[in-house]
Amino acid sequence: MMEAKKLAKRDYKGANKKQKFEYQCNHCKKWFKDSEVQVDHKIPVGSLLSWEDITPFLQKLIPEGLDAFQVLCKECHQVKTNKEREER
């Protein structure tokens, strides 16, 4: 999960001195600061009993379990969440 975030991270070179890194939203491809992005799991995990179950589950599903996670900005995450609710 943190790996997904590491991959989307780069050094921030903008004006805000307090900000060291920025993260790219996997959806809109824009760059955001740490507090504005969320790590989202692409696969709904509602059927899993606990987080301990997720690793073998993902490894079975995708060779690189990493792909199951993506970094999204709050806006895209909200859109995705709303979409998922509608589908239910």
Residues found near Zn ion in the complex (CB under 5 A): 25, 27-28, 73, 76
Distance CA 79, CA 81 (A): 5
Q: Closest CB to Zn ion among 39 and 57?
A: 39
By the 8 A CB rule, do 69 and 26 touch? Answer: no
Q: Cα 8 from chain centroid? A: 9
- Please, what is the minimum distance in Å from the beta carbon of residue 11 to Zn ion? 20
Q: Closest CB to Zn ion among 8 and 25?
A: 25
- Please, what is the minimum distance in Å from the beta carbon of residue 75 to Zn ion? 5
